[in-house]
Chain A
Amino acid sequence: MTNSRNFYGASSLVLAHLWSAFALFVPGIALGVWQMWVRSPWGHFATAATYYSSVTAHGSFFGYIFPTLVAMGFGYACCAAGLARPIRGMAWAWTGFWMVVTGSVLVLVPVLFGQAGVLYTFYPPLTANAWYYGGLVTVIIGSWIWVAVLVVNMVGWKRENPGKPVPLAMFASVASALVWLWTSLGVLSEVVFYLLPVALGWRTQVDAGLGRVLFSWTLHGIVYFWLLPAYIAYYTLAPQAAGSRLYSDIMGRLAFLLFVVFAMPIGIHHLFADPQVGSGTKFLHTVFTIMVVVPTLITVFSITATMEISGRLHGGKGVFGWVAALPWKEPTVLATGLSFIMLGIGGAGGIINMSYGMNASIHNTQFVTAHFHMIYPGAVVIMYFVIIYELWPKLTGRPLWSLRLVRTQLWLWFIGIMLLTIPWHVAGLLGQPRRMAFYDYSDPVLARIAPWVTPSVIGGFIALLSATLLLVNMALSHLPARDENIGPLQFALSVNPPSRIPAALNGFGYWNVLMLVVLGVNYGIPIAQLLLLKNAHTSPGYQVGSHPEADGAIPAVNREQRDAQP
């Protein structure tokens, strides 16, 4: 089945992760498209509870399960091929894989039975079935094994290769693993201290304000965890595909290190409209959120310069002539270009979201949904496709079935996501609230929004078609005859590969400390304030799906209280 030589015995491990990640890709997107359809002017044929279960399944799969499996699989590929030796701790790696798969099943089954319609962002005091939270804890612990395996392999390699720079692909993968380790602590503490005990009936009260702060800890770091495999692909796969060299290895390292420091302790920009967080904390997080433009702009510069080298080698002249001269028939080059377009538009929208004051004009509108669908399914997932298409021949030892089909799939994805998200942004600016199963388009205000909703649905269907084509490409590419000439995965070399490197840019020690200091200030202050708040009150939990007489969300005690009122 696999080509074990190319990944030093890790091909099956990588394939298992990537196939598991993409096994539910098409159904997951189908749920999203179905949601778009249900809430559009065209269709309303579902119960709202089904709609919110669908949102929960779509969000839990694409928020936690899918990117974790992609990051793990690609991380192991970078570990084996980057360090050019077998992975140490293969048994642990497989244990982590099975924990993530088992946890994923535990997450999704309660959702399918309508017992966990809390969306993937939870909203305490709403409470889901305990298995849902238990599954999520299992996924996170499983992924921590991956973090440990990568760290152990990097430390071991450095010990045996003193003074040598850790190959960028491996270095960046460890950065992504560390971002996830620190990031996942927020959601894990919310689940372990609040949600799971309430779901199990061990405690009845939950502090909704503190729960939201703990979740925000995870909420932005997780976005960068989704993003980082795409960045690793920009730096290590795209230059190679363009027949170029990476402009600067050091700047790449610096970008990933800055993500370790700044990706996570900035999440309160998701809580600008919350009453339990003070304006000082909100402003502090605004300033630190702007800091993430630094690694982003470093990456934009380095990758653009890398591509310019390629364009000029291909005969491009003039200030922009090199763009047209790039080898666009190469799927990886094509996808990188399309990804940059979506990253640019999505990034501009993101600046509005994180702006301390401007946020109020779009908070919880469709603008936000449009923004992160432009960034994540758009700019990021198209690079996940690159990872698949670059790794597949190396993993299977067989060439891709058809490059034409690959290019068609990438173009369809780009068109679908653009058509999905651009009108969606406009609907948000017109004030359409997000997370709703149904809109009454007969109202004159909502009637103005309807013409923007309709093209979005069409975009969703085009993306679904592209996703199906991806799976066809993945499956068909297991069929061609083995080609013995397919060598190991090579990552891009830089124009001037560094022979020696400052210790600070070859490890994470200092940067973890720096991150913990920023974290201590940015989250220590608001958490301490909430814990010490005088006259603070908690709320009783509201179990979703267990009270059919009340459509599922009102505990008996409060129903009686409410009925007793005049």
Chain B
Amino acid sequence: MNNPPSPSPHAPDDPPRSATPGEAADKELGIPEAVIVREENRWVLVVVGVFLTILATIVFSAVHIGAEPPSNVETINPVSANQPGSEFVESNLGSGMQADGTVVVRVLAQQYAFVPSVITVPVDTPVVFRATSADVVHGLLIMGTNVNTMIVPGYVATLRTRFAKTGDFLMPCHEFCGPSHHDMWARVRVVPKAEFPFDPSGERRF
């Protein structure tokens, strides 16, 4: 720490540094330690305030508007996920309205496509996405919405949403899943409620 002061190392095209850095500071601005500690204590209050503000915002948004991540830890065997007997067999994929008016969308992700690749859902209706992978890690994101989840083999990702407006949305795989990852795009078509077919048995998928 107590090395001797040294002249500037820099090239001559620049004003030299203060030969003894800190010495001038001592002479002109002898700041007593008590002042420094007082200022730091005030800053601590600011830091605590920042911490509490961020935390309060997160808690409020989680509790009040339900901004929570998809976190049901539900397992499935990835090797047989697309086989007969599985919830994610091809005939059971896509969207269908339940008796309680909720639309359940089942999606299977595998290199390099979502099944189905076009998903139809009604506007302004509670929608539950259930997605899993038959091979590697994938993810889905519906551009322009907050629908966003990882799809990890061995687990079922579930998330709830409600589409506020009709239209076509893009749904890319957003996690690297192999050399043709960039080909893995699906579409979500949000249609008026009247145009979405309702089958009271909940059996039909669209």
Contacts and interface: CB of A to CB of B under 8 A. Distances in A.
Interface of A: 48-49, 52, 81-82, 84, 117-119, 123-126, 167, 207-209, 212, 239-241, 243-245, 247-248, 251, 271-279, 282-283, 286-287, 290-291, 293-294, 297-298, 301, 305, 309-310, 312-313, 327, 329-330, 351, 355-361, 363-365, 393-394, 399-404, 430-439, 443, 445-446, 480, 483, 485-488, 490-493, 495-497, 529, 533-540, 542, 544, 551-554, 558, 561-562, 565
Given A301-B43, A497-B1, A540-B79, A355 B6 contact: no
Interface string B85-129: 000001000000000000000000011000000000000000000
B73 A533 contact: yes
The 8 closest A-B pairs by CB, nearest first: A357-B67, A487-B6, A431-B143, A553-B178, A393-B9, A243-B18, A279-B71, A275-B157
Q: Is the interface of A mostly helix, strand, loop or mixed?
A: loop
Contact of B148 (A279, A290, A360): A360
Interface string B1-30: 111111101110111011001101110110
Interface in B47-106: 47, 50-51, 54-55, 57-58, 61-62, 65, 67-79, 82, 90
Contacts of A125: 135-137, 153
Given A433-B141, A542-B136, A245 B22 contact: yes
A491 B1 contact: yes
A565 B69 CA distance: 34
Contact of B78 (A433, A435, A537): A537
Nearest to A125: B136
B154 to A, nearest CB: 5
Nearest to A396: B9
18 contacts: A209-B155, A276-B154, A283-B62, A293-B50, A293-B54, A297-B47, A360-B67, A361-B148, A363-B148, A364-B174, A393-B9, A436-B182, A438-B182, A480-B11, A535-B75, A536-B154, A539-B78, A561-B79
B174 A434 contact: yes
Contacts of A212: 137, 152
Given A276-B152, A356-B62, A437-B181, A351 B17 contact: no
B23 to A, nearest CB: 9
Most B Cβ at <10 Å: residue of A244, A245, A360, A490? A360
Interface of B: 1-7, 9-11, 13-15, 17-18, 21-22, 24-26, 28-29, 31-33, 36, 39-40, 43, 46-47, 50-51, 54-55, 57-58, 61-62, 65, 67-79, 82, 90, 110-111, 134-137, 139, 141, 143-144, 146-158, 169-170, 172-182
A277 B17 contact: no
Contact of A537 (B77, B90, B144, B172): B77
Contacts of A81: 3
Contacts of B69: 272-273, 279, 282, 356-357, 359-360
B135 A542 contact: yes
Contacts of B147: 360
A523 B77 CA distance: 25
Given A52-B176, A208-B136, 15 more contacts: A82-B1, A167-B1, A209-B154, A240-B21, A290-B51, A293-B47, A305-B39, A313-B25, A351-B54, A355-B61, A365-B141, A400-B10, A438-B182, A443-B170, A483-B9
A36 to B, nearest CB: 15
A496 B2 CA distance: 14
B146 A360 contact: yes
A278 B24 contact: no
Contacts of A208: 136-137, 152-154
A125 B146 CA distance: 27
A364 B141 contact: yes
B34 to A, nearest CB: 10
Contacts of B179: 48-49, 52, 117, 544, 551-553
A360 B3 CA distance: 52
B116 to A, nearest CB: 15
A42 B139 CA distance: 27
